[in-house]
Structure 1
Amino acid sequence: MDHKTTLARHVNASPDKVWAVISDIPGSAATLSGVDSVQMLSEGGYGEGTRWKETRTMMGRAETVEMWVSQAEPPSAARAGTTTVKALQGGADYTTRFILAERDGGTDLTLTFGAEVVKPTLLSKVMMALFGRIGMSMTRKMLARDLSEIAAKAESL
């Protein structure tokens, strides 16, 4: 049982600037209006293994989720940049993947988000059938706002 959505946006900033915004986990609460707070759990710069707790408020309820970078390849002249962030929460495996590709002096930024129930039960299957579409619609709106705010920050650098 898998739910997935993809959003894309052209950003009028270089892939390096977009990467700087995406990889600034400690500063994400200042950049993204949907993020209430971030607590770093690992030291050092952004890369595979970087861990943090992120608190967001959705539907009036604050949720804190532990997240980690499972893959990170900064953009270069030879290739697009990609990074994948994972989280496990409430029996679901969440994956967020960013792809940054240079185009026309800016960056095509693509975000793919997926949620998969790890061990689906009959109840979880029924709940996903009833509420999965509503939840993904809300998630899609939140992610679209995140992309817009990432673009605005990168364009201001």
Structure 2
Amino acid sequence: MKLAIEETIAAPIQLVFELFTDLPHAAEHVESIQSLEVIGKGPIGKGTRFRETRVMFGKEATEEMEITAFDPPRSYRVEGISCGVQYTTVYRFEGGQRETKVSMETTSRPLTLVARVTGPILGLMMKGAMRKAMAQDHAELKRVAEDRVAAMAEASDDDGMAQRG
């Protein structure tokens, strides 16, 4: 199964990349994430493992994932295994100082016989709901990024007035 979505965010690429990879604060920015625990210490990057608990299809689910590629601010890849299926999600960021296009592509590959047999049926049933959930996550991150840009612009305007006054 393959799932792809895109979102354009009115914010600089560096800010958007940092927001999307801000794992310690993910639950504050994305409503469906109940908690996210980074496993280990050090900066977020290739090799970072984390345990995410979110509500999916009305139930709480916890998955362990790992960042397997990290190229700030252009892309990163996250992989995990759940229910006999390997999931790979690649995020790509394109843009500059005013706008960033975020592309996300998730692919799944069955690893067990059960997953190979049930995968096509479950994939068809879940694809729409997964697309909707991922689009909602992106919309929430977009709101946070654009709110930060607006706050920075307002602070800059306030500083300019204070200096002139």
TM-score of the superposed pair, with normalisation by structure 2? 0.84
CA distance in 2, matches of 1:74, 1:104: 15
Letter in 2 for 1:44: G
Q: Which runs of 5+ in 2 are unaligned?
A: 149-165
Spell out, residue by residue over 1:67-119, the C-alpha distance to the aligned partner (whole angstroms, 9 max, x if none). Answer: 110001112xxxxx100011111111011111000058200110111111113
User: Is residue 24 from structure 1 mapped to residue 15 from structure 2 by the alignment?
Assistant: no
CA distance in 1, matches of 2:75, 2:56: 27
Higher helix share: 2
CA distance in 2, matches of 1:23, 1:124: 30
Q: Who wins on radius of gyration, i.e. which is larger?
A: 2
User: Could you tell me which residue of structure 2 aligns to residue 83 of structure 1?
Assistant: 76
Query: Relative contact order: is structure 1 or structure 2 higher (C-alpha 8 Å, sep ≥ 6)?
Result: 1
Say whether the 8 Å CA contact 2:88–2:107 is kept in structure 1: yes
Deviation >4 Å, runs of 4+: none
CA distance in 1, matches of 2:116, 2:49: 30
Q: Which runs of 5+ in 1 are unaligned?
A: 76-80
| 2:24 aligned counterpart, secondary structure | coil
TM-score of the superposed pair, with normalisation by structure 1? 0.88
Higher strand share: 1
Question: Percent identity among equivalent residues?
Answer: 25
User: Could you tell me which residue of structure 2 aligns to residue 136 of structure 1?
Assistant: 127
